């Protein structure tokens, strides 16, 4: 397997992966989306809410606030020995405020330094003069399979690596160049022919093919090379999500190995 990083920003990563099967890369994509755990607010005890926002709406909104996650510091509640909410599986966040003001995610005060809102500027509610809010939110690890608030990824997708071939029958009519919505093709004056300038930007829409009267241009895709893009909500970095997805896949594979060995002994 070969991996080539194409673009990397804080929460975004684009890479090209070669010599892999589509089923493997799709398994990684699915695990990244719904089986890598992150922290999210799961329970809210509201002591005072004078705002016009219903308690249920506020609790739902709190659940969707992305929280910075330290996967080493916590365990999933289902894997914890406690009866209910211990420091190993949960974190308390307190929200207090008195109007007039807009209460933001940054006003949540966490009991654990590693767990806090990724962004301080998410508006939660508005308080008028004298109105108050007081609540305790309990954040826990969870997975996207259970609820979308635990999905670490915003975008997690791959596409087949495109291949464009242009035959000698091309009459340089320029239709493909002009019609391509992604400016993948260009006319090269020195060679007097159409050239591919940005193959990885091709979405394989085949507009060029459909507009070529000579049928000189062909769009295809490699089935062992993919462009993979992953963007997270900031709770985890793209690398952490990928690393944990591989661990989940490895654990699942090991379970099969253990089962097979157990079966062989019998």
Positions touching Zn ion (CB under 5 A) are 80, 82, 86, 88-89
Q: What is the CA radius of gyration of the chain?
A: 25
Q: Is 88 or 169 the residue whose CB approaches Zn ion more closely?
A: 88
Nearest approach, Cβ of residue 92 and Zn ion (Å) = 13
Q: Is 78 or 253 the residue whose CB approaches Zn ion more closely?
A: 78
Measured CA to CA, the distance from residue 132 to residue 49 in angstroms comes to 6
Q: Is 89 or 166 the residue whose CB approaches Zn ion more closely?
A: 89
In the chain, how long is the greatest CA-to-CA distance?
78
Measured CA to CA, the distance from residue 197 to residue 219 in angstroms comes to 14
Cα of 249 vs its chain's centroid, Å: 17
Nearest approach, Cβ of residue 69 and Zn ion (Å) = 16
Residue 211 neighbours by CB distance under 10 Å: 16
Q: Is 45 or 88 the residue whose CB approaches Zn ion more closely?
A: 88
Nearest approach, Cβ of residue 88 and Zn ion (Å) = 5
Comparing CA positions, the residue from 222, 221, 227, 223 lying closest to residue 209 is 221
Query: Residue 45 corresponds to which tokens in the numbers above?
Result: 């005890």
Nearest approach, Cβ of residue 129 and Zn ion (Å) = 41
């Amino acid at each position: 397997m070969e991996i080539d990083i194409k673009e990397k920003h804080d929460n975004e990563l684009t890479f090209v992966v070669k010599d892999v099967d589509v089923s493997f890369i799709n398994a990684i994509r699915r695990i990244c989306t719904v089986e890598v755990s992150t922290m999210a607010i799961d329970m809210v005890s509201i002591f005072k809410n004078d705002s016009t926002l219903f308690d249920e709406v506020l609790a739902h909104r709190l659940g969707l606030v992305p929280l910075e996650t330290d996967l080493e510091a916590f365990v999933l509640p289902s894997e914890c020995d406690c009866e209910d909410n211990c420091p190993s599986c949960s974190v308390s966040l307190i929200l207090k405020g008195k109007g007039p003001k807009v209460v933001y995610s940054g006003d949540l005060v966490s009991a654990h330094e590693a767990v806090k809102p990724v962004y301080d500027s998410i508006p939660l509610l508005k308080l008028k003069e004298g109105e108050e809010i007081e609540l305790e939110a309990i954040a826990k690890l969870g997975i996207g399979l259970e609820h979308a608030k635990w999905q670490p990824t915003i975008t997690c997708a791959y596409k087949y690596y495109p291949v464009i071939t242009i035959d000698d029958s091309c009459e340089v009519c320029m239709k493909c160049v002009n019609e391509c919505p992604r400016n993948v093709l260009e006319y090269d004056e020195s060679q007097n022919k159409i050239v591919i300038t940005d193959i990885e930007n091709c979405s394989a829409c085949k507009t060029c093919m459909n507009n070529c009267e000579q049928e000189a241009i062909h769009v295809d895709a490699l089935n062992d090379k993919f462009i993979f893009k992953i963007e997270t909500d900031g709770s985890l970095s793209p690398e952490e999500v990928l690393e944990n997805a591989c661990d989940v896949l490895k654990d699942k594979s090991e379970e099969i190995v253990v089962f097979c060995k157990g079966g062989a002994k019998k």
